[in-house]
Amino acid sequence: METCRLPQPRAHRDMIRLQDLNATPTQVFAALSFDRGSMKIRYAKIRHSEIRRTAFAAIAAAFSVIAVTLALCGPCSAGHATNAKPETQRRMVIIDQDAFGPAGSNLQAILLLLQASDVEVLGITIVSGDGWRDEEVDHTLRLLEIAERPDVPVIPGAVLPLVNSAARTTAWESLYGKLIYKGAWMENWPVQGAVRRTPHPSDPYLVPPSPAGAPHIKAAVDTAANFLIRELRRHPGQVTIIAAGPLTNLALAARLDPEVSRLAKELVFMGGSFNPRPSTNAFAAEYANAPRREFNMRWDPEAASMVLHEPWRKITQVPIDPTTKTLFTPDMRKRIGQGNAPFAAYIDKFGQSFPMWDELAVAAWLDPSIVTVDKQLLVDVDTSFTAGYGDTLSWSVGEGPGLGERPVHVVLDIDLAKFEALTVDLLSRRAPRH
């Protein structure tokens, strides 16, 4: 065998046709082989000059085909990539909730986020508050089945507050008077409460049968604090936490990982009270004579104060004040019940005429244009075991005691019609594909 190095391709005028040679195409290509290491052409002694010229012609033709293909397809591909519209990135959120149900403000707030096509719910962390954690987990799992979203993980969190307890609450009441609402510690539900509830204040782990049925899916084998830390570290600066219950889970996460608040994009929480205008419904009794008192903060004041001192990038607070004009009316329930969502019958059957506390916190994040009055304040929660235990404390920016208070974006009033329209629209739609 003889070997020659591959020369530069000849000009087009030097190309010849195979039929001009005595060797057939089969003979030529059967005789040719390539050595990748040296880029040499190896060939047998079959019409040396003819084969060499034919090989050069074939290679030059191949280069020509490649060049033409790139010239024709390259711009098309580039143009296609340029004109392609990238899919809108969904906003990631973790819901931290005392999800007592069935239906009601807690669970309807979850449904709003599940129904929003531009939102990705990473998980739902559960904390005791309106009810005990395990019963709330049960309600949430059943809701996800009915909403056709069993893919969303439910993660159990704190059962009890950091410091507050039933005994301390009883002692406080003996000193300062009865609390209108105590959540899971209620011995009897108030008249405006859900008649389907079965109080069990002394047994946090009892899970009574739900009228909506028992779930078949299970909660994640994890803790809320660990889940929060893991997801915020996995998506730094991208995840909003919407907390619509007591802040115990967030306080535990912040103590386990001091960086967790810096890793979140934003904290939105429902809680606190400043100077609410009393509504005409029975729920006004909770704040009529104690305008700075609100249940979520009162359940675990120490956790709330800890969370509000963390270095979040942004904090948005939806207190009682803008919610007093809201009410989930029978008409809204009927309209949603006639909608296309998979949970339409569930809302129609179990929906309750409560103020829309948690739905408003979610809606203010989904569409900030519903907010008509807001204010930047320094906010804290009273942790002294006095008459003001759990009350909201606030100062103008620059006028606080200087103990690590953080500026909070406080929502004080809303466009009610726009809020109601958003709620009914989202809860009436067919569930988006995820």
Question: What is the CATH number for 221?
Answer: 3.90.245.10
- Tell whether 105 is covered by a domain: yes
376 lies in some domain: yes
pTM for this one?
0.80
What's the average model confidence in pLDDT over 93-115?
97
What is the spatial distance between Cα 317 and Cα 338, in angstroms, rounded to a whole number? 33
Tell me: do 61 and 144 sit in the same domain. no
Domain check: are 19 and 119 in the same one?
no
Same domain, 129 and 155: yes
Backbone angles phi, psi at 377, to 5 degrees: -135, 160
Looking at the structure, do residues 59 and 98 belong to the same domain, yes or no? no
Do 73 and 96 lie in a common domain?
no
The reply to whether 78 and 95 lie within a common domain is no
Predicted local confidence at residue 188, as pLDDT: 84
Q: Is residue 419 part of a domain?
A: yes
Same domain membership, residue 52 and residue 118: no
Evaluate whether residue 433 is within a structural domain. no
Cβ-contact 161, 267 below 8 angstroms? no
Same domain, 274 and 405: yes
The answer to whether residue 434 is domain-embedded is no
Whether residues 51 and 107 share a domain: the answer is: no
Q: What is the share, in percent, of the chain residues with pLDDT greater than 70? A: 78
How many domains does the chain fold into?
A: 2
Question: Per residue in 342-371, pLDDT tens?
Answer: 999 999 999 999 999 999 999 999 999 999
- 236/238 Cα distance (integer angstroms): 6
- Say yes or no: 358 and 402 in one domain: yes
At which of 37, 57, 82 does a domain end? 82
Q: What is the 3-state secondary structure (H, E, C) of the chain?
A: CEEEECCCCCCHHHCCCHHHCCCCHHHHHHHCEEECCCCEEEECCCCHHHHHHHHHHHHHHHHHHHHHHHHHHHHHHHHHHHHCCCCCCCEEEEEEECCCCCCHHHHHHHHHHHHCCCEEEEEEEECCCCCCHHHHHHHHHHHHHHCCCCCCCEEECCCCCCCCCHHHHHHHHHHHCCCCCCHHHCCCCCCCCCCCCCCCCCCCCCCCCCCCCCCCCCCCCCCHHHHHHHHHHHCCCCEEEEECCCCHHHHHHHHHCCCHHHHCCEEEEECCCCCCCCCCCHHHHHCCCCCCCCHHHHHCHHHHHHHHCCCCCCEEEECCHHHCCCCCCHHHHHHHHCCCCCCHHHHHHHCCCCCCHHHHHHHHHHCHHHEEEEEEEEEEECCCCCCCCCCEEEEECCCCCCCCCEEEEEEEEECHHHHHHHHHHHHHCCCCCC
Average pLDDT over the chain reads 85
Co-location of 140 and 12 in the same domain:
no
State mean pLDDT over 190-219: 85
Residue 311 belongs to what domain range?
Answer: 91-428
Residue 290 reports pLDDT greater than 60 = yes
| pLDDT confidence of residue 434 | 64
- The DSSP bridge partners found for residue 41 are 4, 34
Q: Are 221 and 296 in the same domain? A: yes
Who wins on pLDDT, 73 or 245? 245
Residue 8: per-residue pLDDT: 44
Of the three residues 22, 50, 82, the one that is the final residue of a domain is 82
Tens of pLDDT along 377-393? 999 999 999 999 999 99
Q: Specify if 253 maps to a domain.
A: yes
- Domain end position, chosen among 82, 100, 121: 82
The reported pLDDT for the residue numbered 86 is 46
Q: Is residue 387 part of a domain?
A: yes
**11 lies in some domain:** yes
pLDDT value of position 196: 59
pLDDT digits (tens, 9 = 90+) for 173-200: 999 999 999 999 998 876 655 555 678 9
For residue 224, give every residue at least 6 positions away whose Cβ sits within 8 Å of its Cβ, in sequence order, or none: 96, 125, 126, 127, 155, 156, 157, 158, 249, 252, 253
